[in-house]
A and B are shown apart, each in its own frame.
Chain A
Amino acid sequence: MSIDETTQRGTGLSRKGLDSGTVGLLGAVVIGVSCVAPAYTLTAALGPTVAEVGVNLPAIFLIGFIPMLLVALGYRELNSAMPDSGTSFTWATRAFGPWVGWMGGWGLIAATVIVLSNLAAVAVDFFYLLISQVLGDPAIADLTLNLPVNIATTLVFIALACYISYRGMQATKTVQYVLVTFQLVVLAWFAIAAFIHVANGTAFDATSISAEWFNPFAVGSFSAFAAGVSLSIFIYWGWDVTLTMNEETTDPGRTPGRAGALTVVVIVVIYLTVALATLAYAGVGDGELGAGNPDNQESIFATLAGPVMGPFAILMSMAVLSSSAASLQSTFVSPARTLLAMGHYSALPKGYGRISPQHKSPSYATVAAALAAAGFYVFTRLVSENALWDTITALGLMICFYYGITALACVWYFRAQAFAGVRNILLKFLAPLLGGVILLVMFVKTAIDSMDPEYGSGSELFGVGMVFVLGIGVILLGAVLMLVWSRINPAFFRQEILTRGYAPRR
């Protein structure tokens, strides 16, 4: 890093210190897998996805990756074109102007806030499960069903993660390597143990694997298909982090792409193996351990790890707890930074733009994100019987929303360059356009379907499906806040701060 200096009369600022170093292929894959958090993701998403598409789970897991990949390619282009401003908020504002940009930022904040509340809740479930396994007292695991205890513990977890994030503490390389390895080993253990039960005839509802499970067209309806895809967007959420690493890698030309591909292989293999193992062991029936039983679908490993892994189920609790707790802490950074950027550009009150002088982290925005996550969780827990399930489905909806907007922002921002060469046509036009359209179609379809009170977990509020209330409710809340703020301080909305633009033809 350069060493120059600033004096009372001079300008510029010197920066010294160790360069944070670069990551190689393995490091990048570890980072990718840690962002996906497979142990947490599977326990949270497997059940709801089975509820939508049944045995066609493997097909949906494979199909779900396609829009994710298409959008990520567009993201990568935006990232290298505007490396200094990397949020959906700034990108969408640059491409579509303040109103769409604001909503894009809101979508990202809402998605991360929803996942925070879900992460905390999953962590709490497995926290009590782990304690009960350690002490050999099943009654403790049921504490999480006690509403006041559950809410109080979840709020404590959120507060802790908020504090850690505010203090700017981060997971180190060693911690991530250990966490990721541990998760993968335990998930593989679960799958192998399940297959052994199937082979020995001790499985709960041995179901033989069929090629039909991989056929996406076998999914009964477009509704189920759309719901399944928007859920599987969630399971790959985080994967694209590898593509955005450029100068941080040892070989910027090749490492990000290879790491992205390798991460996907690791993730897909582990997802498919665990999905097949779960279906083969438990079937999709609604029996005691069936993957089709709504009681099991909220958190599949909480139910199945015990029967499948025996005494070693404790490892699964540790894997899910560590995975969700680590994600809880690292995900906190995200809504806080977007809120901070919005505060900075006057898209929100100035206070959100405040950085802590001591810890150099967003101060106001971090606390705001924690309060939002806590508030969202308490609301969902109080009004819904299947809070975890509903939040995951609403989350899928929200990711489709902000990813879709960002993908189209990519297309629009690069419109002048789109047809200059095959590479541009593919990466700056076709991929993001297709990805964005698919996601927005899934979003609209799922949103319409979710108005049905029978949708998803079957929770409802005033005769409207809970997922619709949570997902669309949050988006409408954003729209209202945007209108109110544009009355109070219209500077951002008059493009006095961030202006629309597009990539020049070159």
Chain B
Amino acid sequence: MRYIVGYTADARGHDAVCLAVALARRQEASLDLVLVTPEHSLYAGTYPPDKGFDTLLSEQMREWMDEGLALVPDDVTARGVVMRAESNAEGLIRAAEDTEASLIVIGASSRGLAGRFSVGNVARSLLHASPVPMALAPSDYRRTDPVTRLTCAVGRRAGADAVISVAVSSARRRGLPLRLVSLIALDAGQSDAGNAEEEANRRLAEAASSLAAGGRVSVETARGSSIEDAIETMAWDEGEVLLVGSSRLAQHARIFLGSTAAKILRTLTIPMVVVPRTYATPGTTSGPGALPTEADV
């Protein structure tokens, strides 16, 4: 199993490496630290042409990569890869496709002051286009111990199956407790609050019963005046990871961050994994991207 780590030589890249290590441990997963370098366009019209810069940039990237690999503890295998691509997001997606990786790990933008997660440009474009699940490290994430619990946010809409099946297989493989959560925003103007709750409970029960026996599965409903509030009412373990599904707007097998997930992203202080719609769901044909058939997060 291989994880792609979107690495940059700054705090954000450090967050990503730490999360990747935490997720890879006890998984035998190996890490690809990917540095994306801009495609050198001959048509850029740079004058005078200066090939010296490429030399200096390569040197710098080698240094950065050494620093990045030094962040990875010895029990996790990692290698460095430099990708040439037009954008960081494109480079990471191609790296994932080339190596049939099962996860892309990146750090969320560190510039956000209001929320812990403020979605950076790279994260944003990946969230709208990645064919594989994506793990987002909150800023200043430095934990590298293995994950202790998985929580899966179950939506009311179609498309939740993919994320539940990923969560289940992932929790089983790691021997981790799994918590299924339904998040309910009780807006003041919303009259069908009862309906929403009923629907959520039905969905959770369905999901729980569909799981094979033996796993440690708990079911929870979180309420709040908004999704953000609902999230804040929940208790989170330090080593916990939240899994959310992707919006119905997503193209087949691509991630599109739904409005609920975007709200979660803004409030959450633990890492979050976003799973593409229909990703690795048994019984569905996967897209042309030749995706792995097993849910491997």
User: Which residues of A are interface residues toward B (Cβ below 8 A)?
Assistant: 1, 5-8, 10, 13-18, 20-21, 23, 27, 30-31, 34-35, 79, 83-88, 90, 108, 168, 170-173, 175-176, 237-238, 240-241, 244-245, 248, 326-327, 330-331, 333-334, 337-338, 340-341, 344, 353, 355, 357-362
> What's the Cα separation between A238 and B82 when bound, in Å?
31
Q: What are the 3 tightest A-B residue pairs by CB atom distance, in nearest-first order?
A: A17-B84, A170-B44, A330-B45
> What's the Cα separation between A90 and B39 when bound, in Å?
24
Residue of B45, B61, B84, B94 with most partner-chain A CB within 10 A: B45
Q: Is the CB of A16 within 8 A of B74?
A: no
Q: Which residues of A contact B37 (CB under 8 A)?
A: 360
Told that A5-B79, A341-B52, A361-B38 touch, could you supply 5 new A-B pairs with CB distance under 8 A? A18-B39, A90-B52, A333-B50, A337-B52, A358-B10
**Which B residues from 43 to 66 make CB contacts under 8 A with A?**
43-58, 60-62, 64-66
> What's the Cα separation between A176 and B70 when bound, in Å?
42
Q: How far is the CB of A260 from chain B (nearest CB, A)?
A: 13
> What's the Cα separation between A49 and B276 when bound, in Å?
63
Q: How far is the CB of A194 from chain B (nearest CB, A)?
A: 28
Given contacts A7-B78, A245-B42, A359-B38, contact A87 B48 (CB under 8 A): yes
**Interchain residue pairs with CB less than 8 A apart (23):** A1-B84, A8-B70, A8-B77, A13-B65, A14-B80, A16-B83, A20-B41, A23-B42, A27-B43, A35-B47, A79-B51, A86-B48, A86-B49, A86-B50, A88-B48, A241-B49, A330-B44, A330-B47, A334-B50, A340-B56, A341-B53, A353-B56, A359-B38
User: Which residues of B are interface residues toward A (Cβ below 8 A)?
Assistant: 8-10, 13, 37-58, 60-62, 64-66, 69-70, 72, 74, 77-85, 88, 91, 94-95, 98
Q: Is the CB of A357 within 8 A of B64?
A: yes
Q: Is the CB of A358 within 8 A of B8?
A: yes
User: Can you name the residue of chain A whose Cβ is closest to the Cβ of B78?
Assistant: A8
Q: How far is the CB of B94 from chain A (nearest CB, A)?
A: 7
User: Can you name the residue of chain B whose Cβ is closest to the Cβ of A16?
Assistant: B83
Q: Is the CB of B82 within 8 A of A16?
A: yes
Q: Which residues of B contact A6 (CB under 8 A)?
A: 65-66, 69, 79-80
Q: How far is the CB of A75 from chain B (nearest CB, A)?
A: 8
Q: Is the CB of B53 within 8 A of A337?
A: yes
Q: Which residues of B contact A8 (CB under 8 A)?
A: 69-70, 72, 74, 77-78
Q: Binding site of A, secondary structure by majority: helix, strand, loop or mixed?
A: mixed
Q: Which residues of A contact B84 (CB under 8 A)?
A: 1, 15-18, 20
Q: Which residues of A contact B91 (CB under 8 A)?
A: 17
**One of A17, A237, A326 near B45 (C-beta < 8 A):** A326
**One of A7, A34, A358, A360 near B77 (C-beta < 8 A):** A7
Q: Is the CB of B41 within 8 A of A170?
A: yes
Q: How far is the CB of A126 from chain B (nearest CB, A)?
A: 19
Q: How far is the CB of B140 from chain A (nearest CB, A)?
A: 17
**One of B10, B52, B79, B98 near A7 (C-beta < 8 A):** B79
Q: Is the CB of A355 within 8 A of B40?
A: no
Q: Which residues of A contact B56 (CB under 8 A)?
A: 340-341, 344, 353, 355
Q: How far is the CB of B285 from chain A (nearest CB, A)?
A: 29
Q: Which residues of B contact A333 (CB under 8 A)?
A: 44, 46, 50
Q: Which residues of A contact B8 (CB under 8 A)?
A: 357-358
